[in-house]
Each structure stands twice: as structure tokens, then as C-alpha cells.
A and B are shown apart, each in its own frame.
Chain A
Amino acid sequence: MLYNKIMAIYPSLTFEDFITFITLQNDSDGKGDYIAKWEHPTLAKPTTEQLA
């Protein structure tokens, strides 16, 4: 699960961060979870390699 992978990379993230700065999205179309928005003020968007 993408959320768990990101939390493993950045354990300091909170649920509120995923409401405010980061948007993980799933369009229920079989394509799975993806990062729709990453605007966290201090943490960089994880790379594809980090999420692999």
C-alpha cells in the first residue's frame, strides 16, 4: 500500500499531512494508489526507487 510505503520513509507524517499537503488518490479504476499532489513544505516527494 502506497500510504504504508510513504509512512515507512517519513514516519513523522501525520494523517493531517495527507489531508493538507499530500494527496494520495485511488480512482477505483483498477490502476491502484498514486500520488496526486505533494506539496509538503519540508519533505521531498519520494522517488520511484524509494517506493519500489
Chain B
Amino acid sequence: MSSVVISGDTSGAITLAAPSVAGTNTITLPASTGTAMVNGPAFSYYSNSGTSVSGGTYTKILFQTQEYDTANAVSSSRFTPLVAGYYQISCAISLSGNSSAGYGIANIYKNGTLYRQGSSYASSANSPNAAISALVYCNGSTDYIEIYAICTNSITTGTGIAATFFSGVLVRGA
């Protein structure tokens, strides 16, 4: 037998298939209840147009360009995964224009409120980046993630895939 087919109660089926190569392999399932993950959502977006950030104001950063979005879970710079679990969220924001020794901070917002805050960064004229990475649980239905920045001075964020990006990946199911 090269495969086992498990039919759903009402529709659909799952096929467990052995590879067409010689040798014996073993998969041991854990003694626990959970959902096995197969290719969980992953995404990467970046800014190709700067976002205007008012001084002292948490401002949502816009990421207009998709590098990849395996689950089409990002819309209007908002990540709303439909798979419950723990997501590693990362971003960097170019603070170009914030050249008067101000501070800039990248922030992860969950459901419209501040969830994780990066360390403050004293900017210079060398266009540094503010960044943050954190593990965020999402319930797979209503939870959503956005990126906000706050700076001492008003700026327009920098652009480009290396400078201002927003990415995430499912690292563990619920």
C-alpha cells in the first residue's frame, strides 16, 4: 500500500502517501491533542511609498508591495491570519528624514492597540532603521496585526525592501 485515504464525515479527504523511494521512514505523532501544520502562512511586504509620521504620534506604516503572501492574509497593511497559532512578526522602518537627533520606535499593534514596542533609537542623518520582532498569538479569525511608528520629529519613512518591511510566519499552531 502506498497511501492511506481518510474520508471526511461530509466531504473531502486526507491522503497519507509514502514516498516513491526505497527505505523505511517513521513519523511518530506526539501524545497530545493539536492541529498538525502543513505549510503555515508566511508573508513579506515592503514600502514603496513613504508614510508620513507626525512627531509624537503613533502612525500606522503602509506596506504597499508584496514580496510573498502565501495565504493572502494581508490587506491594507493589516495581517489577519485565518490559521490560529503563534506568529513571529518582524519589521524594520527606515527613519530617513529624522535627522535632528530625534528618536524613532517601531511598534507591533494587535487589534488596534500597542502590543510590543521596540527599543528607541537615536537617529542621525545616516538614515537608520527602527526594528522589532516578537512572537504574537493570533486566534485565526478576528485577531490582526499592524505596524506603527512613533518619532520625536515629523518624518516620511524611507522605502525599499531592505529598509521598511513587514513580515511574519506561523511558527506553532494553536
Q: Do they bind each other? A: yes
Determine the residue in chain B with the shortest Cβ distance to A23.
B58
A8, B54: Cα distance in complex, Å: 15
A3, B62: Cα distance in complex, Å: 21
- Cβ < 8 Å to B, chain A residues 1-51: 1-4, 6-7, 15, 18-19, 23-29, 33, 36
Number of chain A interface residues as a range: 10 to 19
**Are A19 and B61 in contact, CB atoms less than 8 angstroms apart?**
no
Partner of A23, one of B61, B62, B114, B120: B114
A19, B152: Cα distance in complex, Å: 10
**Are A25 and B62 in contact, CB atoms less than 8 angstroms apart?**
no
Partner of A25, one of B51, B57, B61, B117: B57
Return chain B residues, CB-CB under 8 Å to A15.
56, 103, 152
**Are A3 and B54 in contact, CB atoms less than 8 angstroms apart?**
yes
**Are B60 and A1 in contact, CB atoms less than 8 angstroms apart?**
no
Knowing A15-B152, A19-B105, A23-B114, the reply to whether A28 touches B60 (Cβ < 8 A) is yes
**Are B61 and A36 in contact, CB atoms less than 8 angstroms apart?**
no
